[in-house]
Structure 1
Amino acid sequence: MSLAAFYPWIKAMHVVSALVFFGGVVAVSAFLWSARGNSAGVSGIATTLRRWDHAVTTPAMILVWAFGLGLVLTGHWFDAPWLKAKLFLVIVLSAAHGIQSGRLRRVANGVASTSWPLLPMIFISLMGIAVLAVVKPS
């Protein structure tokens, strides 16, 4: 059986993983935004959210990349311009996750977060990814 026979399942798992990953990234971003300048009483929440990030959000990100590669292989989209743009946005979103993980670690260690929120960039990236994935403009 070829990889193409599994395309609907690969696509479904890619979408599910992406939703879980995006939910985790938004949750951390919302928490960091609400915790700005406040180190009292938020380190416990940050520690719990950090455990969730390590156990759920990061593995979901890895699955998004893995299933996405499977989709690219089955669709033969390596040279597609829309894929290059989507990959750029996915890299931005993955980098935002890494930045937020560091910020979350610092808040969990009692350091107040004073940096600007990444939520607008995260939403713009998600919208761009969704449009490019669905429309696949040439």
Structure 2
Amino acid sequence: MTFYEFLPWLTGLHVAAVLVFAGGLVGETIILAALPQNQSLSQEQQNLAAFVHRLDRRLTAPALLLVWILGITLAVTMGWFSETWLQVKLVFVLILSALHGMQSGLLRRLANGSGQVRGQALRLTIILAAFVLVAILAVVKPF
């Protein structure tokens, strides 16, 4: 099997990693939005935060790593780094990666009893819009 025959598999693995990352990030955001805002959490809520943080470390974060590794591999192989659509897409992927890092840190602090939830409602809208734009840019390649 040549490398170019392997490309559909590489693309499929990249899309699968994106799906796992997206599901994890959206799920974390919804759970964080459901927790009480601007106040300390109960022990039960801290346990929930600890559980979600463990899921993040075991599923969402590794999926994000795969997204980056496979995405960069595809971009280098296909010579896409000079393409405007990819450069715009990378801005949104960086935003999603940063939001993931912020949420992961918040989940860790909440699990340890030292954090407070703030401003999660708007974050879900930003995350969903970014994923939609990433998908459109990747499939349509409009510019």
Asked if Structure 1 and Structure 2 have the same fold, meaning a TM-score greater than 0.5 normalized by the shorter chain, the answer is yes
**Aligned match of 2:92:** 89
SS of 1:42 mapped into structure 2: helix
Identity rate of aligned residues, in percent?
40
Spell out, residue by residue over 1:67-113, the C-alpha distance to the aligned partner (whole angstroms, 9 max, x if none).
10121122211100000000000000000000001111121122453
Determine if the alignment matches structure 1 residue 114 to structure 2 residue 114.
no
Range 51-60 or range 105-114, more displaced: 105-114
> Equivalents in 1 of 2:139, 2:36: separation in Å?
36
Shift of 1:2: 4.3
SS of 1:115 mapped into structure 2: coil
SS of 1:110 mapped into structure 2: coil
Q: Can you give the 5+ residue segments of structure 1 that lack an aligned partner in the other structure? A: none
Aligned partner letter, 2:41 = S
Structure 2 residue corresponding to 1:42, chosen from 45, 70, 76: 45
> Equivalents in 2 of 1:114, 1:47: separation in Å?
14
**Aligned match of 2:28:** 28
Do 1:39 and 1:111's aligned partners in 2 also have CA atoms closer than 8 Å?
no
Matched residues, number: 138
Spell out, residue by residue over 1:99-133, the C-alpha distance to the aligned partner (whole angstroms, 9 max, x if none).
00111112112245331112111011101100000
**Aligned match of 2:82:** 79
> Equivalents in 2 of 1:71, 1:2: separation in Å?
15
Do 2:26 and 2:124's aligned partners in 1 also have CA atoms closer than 8 Å?
yes
Please give the TM-score of this superposition, normalised by the length of structure 1: 0.94
Do 1:35 and 1:112's aligned partners in 2 also have CA atoms closer than 8 Å?
no
Q: Can you give the 5+ residue segments of structure 2 that lack an aligned partner in the other structure? A: none
Aligned partner letter, 1:5 = E
> Equivalents in 1 of 2:125, 2:114: separation in Å?
23
> Equivalents in 2 of 1:3, 1:36: separation in Å?
50
Determine if the alignment matches structure 1 residue 16 to structure 2 residue 19.
no
Please give the TM-score of this superposition, normalised by the length of structure 2: 0.91
